[in-house]
Amino acid sequence: MFESLMLVVFLTSLVGADKSLPEDFTRCRQSDPKLNDCLKSAVPDALRRMKTGIASLAVPQMEPLLVSSINIDSGAGPVVITQNYRNIKLHGLTDSVLTSYKADLKNYRLRTDSITPKMEFLADYVMKGRILVLPIQGKGIANITMVNLVVKHDLIGEPKQRDGQTYMHIRDYRVKFIPQRVVLHFTNLFNGDKRLGDQMNLFLNENSDLVFNELKESYEKSLSSVFQDVTNKIFDSVPMNKIFLED
């Protein structure tokens, strides 16, 4: 009896048309004159509660956030490198705080700035290329750490109707990364030649602004699509008026 009841509950939750935010998420009201302030604290609070993911919404774990791969082909300029990252782990996102929030729900647009005290990007890497006049190549583990990383998020959404409900689908998620400092470390450069590897790591960090600026756009593109997927896991399954409450 109990088992069949469980089965009914389980099946209902599978076919149920719309879903809700987890109980412990703070809800903000659309009509609240302080809506932006409400979201500014509700969103990072939700992020912290998503550390291990939300099974019912198929939201993956956020600490660390896993990304399968990023390929970077930086063409011209002082940094010409082909880089391939696999098994990426992003640590530190859930420590982010928001410094501003601008919700324009009539136009399905959300803009927010976050600051992440320390974002660690750890991955298996393969790279080959040239930085300034120096050749670089290696295959090992990369640690790219961004300190006091400011991220400007611009979420451009559109309404989607389903079963009489409106969902706020994010069709474009743009980010800009502005780190205060970037610390790079690559193990096993130059087939494990320690002297060359140490010199190159030193060189990369002395020129980290240049190196990072050349690669920034690729990181931004890859990570914005990860952020978009996570946001849409929630926004595509929870009706808009259950995220931003109507009166």
Ligand X SMILES: *[C@@H]1O[C@H](CO)[C@@H](O)[C@H](O)[C@H]1NC(C)=O
Question: Which stretches of the chain bind ligand X, using CB under 6 A?
Answer: 120, 122, 143, 145, 183, 185
Least CB distance to ligand X at residue 221 (A): 23
Residue 124: CB minimum distance to ligand X, A: 13
Least Cβ distance, residue 184 to ligand X (angstroms): 9
**Is 139 or 185 the residue whose CB approaches ligand X more closely?**
185
Taking the C-alpha atoms of residue 183 and residue 60, their distance in angstroms, rounded to an integer, is: 27
What are the distances in angstroms from CA 148 to CA 110, 172, 232? 22, 25, 26
Comparison of 63 and 120: residue with beta carbon closer to ligand X: 120
**Spatial separation of the C-alpha atoms in residues 147 and 22, rounded to whole Å:** 31
Closest CA to 131 of 83, 78, 182: 78
Q: Which of 36, 145 has the CB closer to ligand X?
A: 145
Token pair belonging to 178? 């502005």
- Triad 239, 242, 246: Cα angle to 5°: 115
Q: Which is nearer to ligand X, 65 or 110 (CB)?
A: 65
Which residue is closest to ligand X by CB? 143
Task: Quote the least distance from Cβ 91 to ligand X, whole Å.
Answer: 8
